[in-house]
Structure 1
Amino acid sequence: MSLTDRIARGLEAGWQVTDATTLTDHQTHEADVVIVGTGAGGGTTAEILAKSGLSVILVEEGRLYYQKDFTMDEHSAYASLYQEGMSRTTRDGAIAILQGRCVGGSTTVNWTSSFRTPDQTLTYWADNFGLDNLSPEAMAPWFDGREQRHTMAPWPTPPNVNNDILRQGCEQLGYSWQTIPRNVKGCWNLGYCGVGCPTNAKQGALMTTIPGALDHQARLFHGLRAERLIMNQDRIDHLQASAMAADGITPSGVTVTLKARHFVVAASAIGSPGLLLRSDIPDPHARVGKRSFIHPVNATIAQMPEKVDPFYGAPQSIYSDEFNFKNGVDGPAGFKLEVPPLHPGMSAGVIPGHGPEQIDAMAGLPWTQSIIALMRDGFHPDSPGGTVTLRDDGSPVLDYPITDYLWQGLRQAYLTMAEIQFAAGASKVRLVHLDSDWYTSWGEARAAINSIAMEPHRVRLFTAHQMGGCSMGQDPRSSVVNGFGEHHQVSNLSVHDASVFPTSIGANPQLSIYALAARNSARLAAKLTS
């Protein structure tokens, strides 16, 4: 065991960490606060509460993986680090959902992009949901604090070719572009952020707030599934949880009961509504699971004359917000332009075609570039989001219909991305769409995009950003929690993750979750210690 590793050192020093897959007897534990989830929200909450002197128990369904496990191997990493082995989708299978399932949650496997919540989004929330105390001015010190805690700064290293092509195309067309802030320290620029950082450079929850909490006597149970919050009159009495078997997926039959004064749910915008629904938590206005948002993502790929090697270097370092709020907050669907890394395993599952066609496409991977568009959903009446419900086995699933409003935005995004790639010198461009050919000119691509079918399962759609489902707002009739994440109906329940967002945010969400959780946890700590 390498004791240069932060996690290895802590385990050696006696952190209270329990691998629930090894438990053989039913048991009960107590704390001041039980936190479900160890991602951006859960980790932040745990560190702040533990440092305030409160006893904290963290519950994580996934396993504790750290430096020794991060071998840059896509095949094993997707199976172990992601929800449903990287095969999670919306109910109809039309949208792939990339979401972490490990200690640190999605912050362990994200691509490190770190944006503040756009001012336009915070202002919209204030105007439409009574969240006046979340103004840009009020949130600024919380963003400042989290940017320091997670070492967030614009990436100073020149972008890899994959990202620089977005910059080149934007400059040719007169579109704005900027450098992405990243949460890294001593980054080796390897490019394999999505399968766990092998150098501990990524400053996600795994390297920051989780160790910070464990250093202050927090207890962590991993391989433990939160099944139900059990009410006693108007308060939650305990959490009923199931230990996982050695496979990390099926319950072993061992039950762990966790009692606390207060419960914080931070299990993601799919997991948190799922837990509240399984628990029959009071929901008089049927708001739990409603208004779930995902930044629906579509993509184009380009063949470039020069080598791109899109699998090396910081995965995301250039972005463009030219089209994010161009038509106002609630006009036609806006989108943020970014670049994805293209590793062989993921690319083989994403790039259209099979058989000889796929072999040719994969042989050209070193010369392949891609752009993605993140659609800003939830700001328009024709973008009401989706709904999280429960399957027969109690697991959560997201139903997300794509409206005509969003299809129009996705078509516009295809046009924009293809134009940028040709402007940057692409020899040919293809949509990540089952009916798309390779197009060898912008004119040919434009004509094809304007006539191509925009339908589920024809357009390949993705999301790595799950938001909403436990919306915050001033009015209990239209929201689940207030602006501090405090449940409207249950006095000892808070929600501290992206599920509280009343819309999507129009940016990668990790910093927004960190900052909101820090703000709300500081208030919670003051209440519980007073």
Structure 2
Amino acid sequence: MEDRTIGRSGSSRKGSFRFGIGVDGKKDHTVVELGSIDTHRLLLSGGERQKKQQPLTNSLSSRQMKSLSALCDSILPSVDHSVHTSDESVNKFYRISASMAGTPELLGGVMCEKLKHPLTGLLKLALWGLSTWFGTLILCGMGCVSTKFPFIHSFPELSLQKRQDIMRSWSLSYIRLLRLLFRTIKLLTLLVFFTQTDESEENLSWKAIGYCGPDPKFKAQLKNHFLDGKSKEAEDDKEDEDAEEVIGPLYKGLVHLNNPRDIAADALRRLGFSVSVVRRKHKAAANLSSPSLVIQCDAVVVGSGSGGGVIAGVLAKAGYKVLVLEKGGYSARNNLSLLEGQSMDQMYLNAGLVASDDMGMFILSGSTVGGGSAVNWSASIKTPQHVCKEWCEKHGLELFESELYREALDAVCEKMGVQSEIEDEGFNNAVLRKGCQEMGYPVNTIPRNSSSDHYCGWCCMGCKDGKKKGTLETWLVDLVKSGNGAILPGCEALKVLHKNMEGRDRKVAGGVAFEFEYKGIKDICVVESKVTIVACGALCTPALLKRSGLRNQNIGRNLHLHPVTMAWGYFPDEPASEVWPEANKKSYEGGIMTAMSSVVAEFEQSGYGAVIQTPSLHPGMFSIVTPWTSGVDIRDRMRKFSRTAHVFALARDKGSGTVESPHRISYKLAGVDEKNLQKGIDKVLRILAAAGAEEIGTHHNKGRTLNVKQVSYHEFEKFVKEESSRPLTDLSTPLCSAHQMGSCRMGSNPKQSVVNQTGETWEMEGLYVADTIRNGISFKTMIDTLGRKSQLLLQRKRLKEEEDDDQHIQGTKINQPTMVESPPKFKFTFIFFIIFSLSLGLVSFSLCIASEIKRNKKEDLRWNGRLCHLPSSPAFGLGIASLVCLALVQSIGNSILFKNCCSGGKRNARFKIPIVARILLSISWLANSIIFSVKTAKLERVGFGIAVILLIAATSMSKRQAYGEGWLKGECYLVKKGTYAGLAILILVTVGSLIGSGLLTMKSNKADQGHKIHAQTGETRD
């Protein structure tokens, strides 16, 4: 019998532990029951506290660093503040400049290793330019000119006052590139300065601005009884409970591939997966044809967030072997750092440094085990009825008005413990609620997937006590406890593997190739699966699908971001008799999102308005949205950090953007969305003032503020009107997004969407997308995604019960559909039809051009005073040949189409010629013109009859016309110049029209086949 004990192996001052299972008295420090992981590595894999992060490599030149240091010190210069206060922490905050704090060196490393924005190269070029006099002259204008030799100075040589004046002018410049340069430098400098920490994990500004750093109630330490020696039986009873409390509930199912290959393979085998280790020659490069490991499973899920995590949990619980690939790492509960900078680096996509191509939108997206559900703000609101109705009626998605979908939403909310009670409201939400009540605006309590006593403002950095029920506390726990699943953190999917199968019209997905890092070197593994689910998020999924060979034009389009803009209000903590909210409350504490107003949401009208909610802003994020007008002003604003409430307007955007990759995002705020946000900011400013704010303002670069208690009603109204009407698309006001959706749209046909109602891609069988699906709702999107995925899985579970034993899972537990094959003859003859039509069409076109050249000219005409004479022209024979070619194209093309439509004298029910193609064929025989509108492009189709009639007439007129025997009533007629050339074009249009008919027919039959397949798997219950 196996003797299994958990023992300690080493510790550090922070309390690191390594667990192992002994088999027959032998210690194996890598394997844990069922999970087979190195727990020491697990403790270090996310939120590492024992070891400082490795310094980033700064490859900027000395010239570039000189300019960067000057820019950073212009943003945050050294200021003598001692005359205003004797508080040393405050004086130190003002006195230490960015370069004194080491910010430029850290920022250089961020720019070289973390910043992946397409304009990074332009930023580096600007830094080099500012180190020269001519570059400074170009970027700074006359601001760099002086009366002293050498008269024109580089940016670092200018005085602090001149540098700040120049940066102020950039922020409000008419030249967009200069505003872009200012925004980038300001954002990066402030973010690095306010998030960098020293050896004691503190920042020099925190005490001065009233920030406590990580939650003081949270201690990352192990319980004493876990260290004490106990009886073996007592340890056995407690070991799982203790390990879960220390490491988190997923510790048994996590497998880190940064272990040696044999150890990682053994870990997966212990979890029930079939694994092959591929032996490569020493130092041989990793590639798809020679991966390190080949893993087999029933389903592979790429992503562990609100989409992928749910599907993985349900499938594993149903008995299927499921492998989850997660690009990010795993941040264990009690090992979370709760440091803003470190958390951003470890738990957010690209360390939180994601923005649209023009820097108009800052974007936050989770990238960790649990995805966005691990770092979101807890709001869990069901899809509103008006959104379900829109999706059903306008887009043909009946699923969302079905009873089954409503049942699934209820089940999801129950699983996550969604409730609307709150014991103590935090600073920002208390301000929002009171302001709405004072103004008479509607205000509601937001349902959240956390308990009523969860008073935590750090959940955007992970939930320290597990009270927020994201996927890593719910469905992924089901996956681990089922014993049928494993989670592989630190693995990035490269492409979906696929193959062609006989009798299948589409390619069939067969797994995923993914990349991971082992000993600092990239390595590759392959997962072979029966079904593949991609849930990388709206920013990453499109790139993966395109790398996998999918060509649907809708991939990456229709990206919606729920744009956000904010306003702020300052609530001083003195005098004590007038303090509200309570003096002990801080802006960064308490439930992040508990109150919401729909005063400008327009739920009952268009459904496209803005909701008003509150954000989570710790010093780094607070600083980058705060206006900068000078080094002193930004510090004065930051000093008010802990008592400054922020409230934002979030728009359900009608406009949309495109995404090529997380580093290439194009998004322009639509006019209607800009107006909705402006309406929202108008209300937000009034809410803040009504709640009792002493000072209010927006985040516009001008940095205007208003002391509400010292102005008249007229002055207040003027301020609100001016600030809320400012444009939002000119880089003068920061826009943010924490919701990304719709880049792989669901729909009823492949022309307008990427996936069908079951989530399966139109192009590849067995490949499902589990991301947010369409233009999002005016709320957090987590519930929407989870509800949809649960509904699909419940539906397919019922279908699975009717499967035969010899069928494997297809999709997520769906029956293997009977394929509806398209007519086989058409498949082969269609290629011949295209080649034949194009060839003869080009020949006919060429003959017409030759006829134009060889036709009779005016000078060929002979006149005897009474009668005319024209000699025979080569255009006659050429025209006849062109006419024959055109007739062959038309007759054979129609024969092929109708031959497949009618087989053996009977109607072929499986083959359909769409209505547009039928009309097109009919018109091609008539002597008139018609305009067809296909999609958005208008094409003029001219009838074959016109081409034939004109060609016959022109050819006849090219025949010899003797004296008195002219073409018409004895008169001689010349073919007008350009007639044959026009006919040549007409022939191309006619042939193109015929080929278009064939293409439409073929495409229609393919789409119809897809509908028949998915009708078997996508049935819903109303």
**TM value normalised by structure 1:** 0.91
CA separation in 1, counterparts of 2:767 and 2:509? 7
Give the structure 2 partner of residue 22 of structure 1.
259
Give the structure 1 partner of residue 753 of structure 2.
479
- Report the secondary structure of 1:172's partner residue: helix
Shift of 1:22: 3.4
> Is residue 761 of structure 2 the alignment partner of residue 504 of structure 1?
no
Give the structure 1 partner of residue 591 of structure 2.
314
CA separation in 1, counterparts of 2:514 and 2:248? 28
User: Which stretch shows the higher mean deviation, 68-77 or 181-190?
Assistant: 181-190
Contact residue 190 and residue 312 of structure 1 kept, 8 A: yes
Give the structure 1 partner of residue 419 of structure 2.
153
CA-based RMSD: 2.1
CA separation in 2, counterparts of 1:414 and 1:246? 50
CA separation in 2, counterparts of 1:363 and 1:27? 54
How do residues 131-530 of structure 1 correspond to structure 2 at under 5 angstroms? 131-135=397-401, 137-185=403-451, 187-216=453-482, 217-233=484-500, 234-244=507-517, 252-283=521-552, 286-305=553-572, 306=579, 307=583, 309-326=586-603, 328-329=605-606, 333-353=608-628, 355-378=631-654, 383=655, 385-390=656-661, 397-441=664-708, 442-449=716-723, 452-498=726-772, 500=773, 502-525=774-797, 526-527=799-800, 528=809, 529=813
CA separation in 2, counterparts of 1:273 and 1:309? 40
CA separation in 1, counterparts of 2:295 and 2:634? 53
- Write the deviation string for residues 324-349 of structure 1: whole angstroms up to 9, x where unpaired: 1256125xx50011011332222122
CA separation in 2, counterparts of 1:202 and 1:506? 22
CA separation in 2, counterparts of 1:145 and 1:450? 41
CA separation in 2, counterparts of 1:193 and 1:258? 33
Aligned length: 509
User: Which stretch shows the higher mean deviation, 60-69 or 34-43?
Assistant: 60-69
CA separation in 2, counterparts of 1:327 and 1:52? 41
1:8 to 247, 258, 271: 247
Contact residue 760 and residue 768 of structure 2 kept, 8 A: yes
Contact residue 497 and residue 517 of structure 1 kept, 8 A: no
Give the structure 2 partner of residue 56 of structure 1.
322
CA, structure 1 residues 404+327, in 2 after alignment: closer, same or farther (shift >3 Å)?
farther
**TM value normalised by structure 2:** 0.48
Shift of 1:520: 1.7
Q: Percent identity?
A: 25
CA, structure 1 residues 341+429, in 2 after alignment: closer, same or farther (shift >3 Å)?
same
Structure with more of its chain in helix, by fraction:
2
- Report the secondary structure of 1:219's partner residue: strand
Contact residue 121 and residue 506 of structure 1 kept, 8 A: no
Shift of 1:98: 0.9
CA separation in 2, counterparts of 1:9 and 1:507? 29
CA separation in 2, counterparts of 1:10 and 1:337? 35
How do residues 59-74 of structure 1 correspond to structure 2 at under 5 angstroms? 59-74=325-340
Letter aligned with residue 516 of structure 1: R
Contact residue 533 and residue 767 of structure 2 kept, 8 A: yes
2:385 to 106, 109, 119: 119
- Report the secondary structure of 2:358's partner residue: coil
CA separation in 2, counterparts of 1:272 and 1:264? 11
Letter aligned with residue 319 of structure 1: M
Shift of 1:33: 0.6
Shift of 1:161: 2.8
User: Which stretch shows the higher mean deviation, 358-367 or 341-350?
Assistant: 341-350
Contact residue 310 and residue 471 of structure 2 kept, 8 A: yes
CA, structure 1 residues 256+456, in 2 after alignment: closer, same or farther (shift >3 Å)?
farther
Contact residue 250 and residue 480 of structure 2 kept, 8 A: no
User: Which stretch shows the higher mean deviation, 463-472 or 518-527?
Assistant: 518-527
> Is residue 318 of structure 2 the alignment partner of residue 33 of structure 1?
no
- Write the deviation string for residues 168-198 of structure 1: whole angstroms up to 9, x where unpaired: 1111221111111111147541311111111
Contact residue 21 and residue 224 of structure 1 kept, 8 A: no
Shift of 1:52: 1.1
CA separation in 2, counterparts of 1:146 and 1:396? 33
Shift of 1:523: 3.3
Shift of 1:357: 1.3
CA separation in 2, counterparts of 1:186 and 1:452? 39
User: Which stretch shows the higher mean deviation, 363-372 or 429-438?
Assistant: 429-438
- Write the deviation string for residues 138-176 of structure 1: whole angstroms up to 9, x where unpaired: 422111101111111003213123101111111122111
User: Which stretch shows the higher mean deviation, 81-90 or 20-29?
Assistant: 20-29
Contact residue 423 and residue 453 of structure 2 kept, 8 A: no
CA separation in 2, counterparts of 1:185 and 1:451? 39
CA, structure 1 residues 267+9, in 2 after alignment: closer, same or farther (shift >3 Å)?
closer
Contact residue 177 and residue 319 of structure 1 kept, 8 A: yes
Contact residue 422 and residue 452 of structure 2 kept, 8 A: no
CA, structure 1 residues 6+396, in 2 after alignment: closer, same or farther (shift >3 Å)?
farther
Contact residue 178 and residue 318 of structure 1 kept, 8 A: yes
User: Which stretch shows the higher mean deviation, 515-524 or 206-215?
Assistant: 515-524
CA, structure 1 residues 236+136, in 2 after alignment: closer, same or farther (shift >3 Å)?
closer
Letter aligned with residue 149 of structure 1: K
CA, structure 1 residues 207+88, in 2 after alignment: closer, same or farther (shift >3 Å)?
same
Question: What are structure 1's unaligned runs of at least 5 residues?
Answer: none
CA separation in 2, counterparts of 1:55 and 1:206? 18
Letter aligned with residue 224 of structure 1: C
User: Which stretch shows the higher mean deviation, 367-376 or 64-73?
Assistant: 64-73
CA, structure 1 residues 322+492, in 2 after alignment: closer, same or farther (shift >3 Å)?
same
CA separation in 1, counterparts of 2:547 and 2:348? 22
CA separation in 2, counterparts of 1:482 and 1:78? 35
Contact residue 429 and residue 445 of structure 1 kept, 8 A: no
Contact residue 187 and residue 202 of structure 1 kept, 8 A: no
Shift of 1:454: 2.9
Structure with more of its chain in strand, by fraction:
1
CA separation in 1, counterparts of 2:547 and 2:663? 9
Shift of 1:484: 2.1
- Write the deviation string for residues 69-101 of structure 1: whole angstroms up to 9, x where unpaired: 323211211111111111111122221111111
CA separation in 1, counterparts of 2:486 and 2:752? 35
Letter aligned with residue 366 of structure 1: S
CA, structure 1 residues 481+416, in 2 after alignment: closer, same or farther (shift >3 Å)?
same
User: Which stretch shows the higher mean deviation, 64-73 or 356-365?
Assistant: 64-73
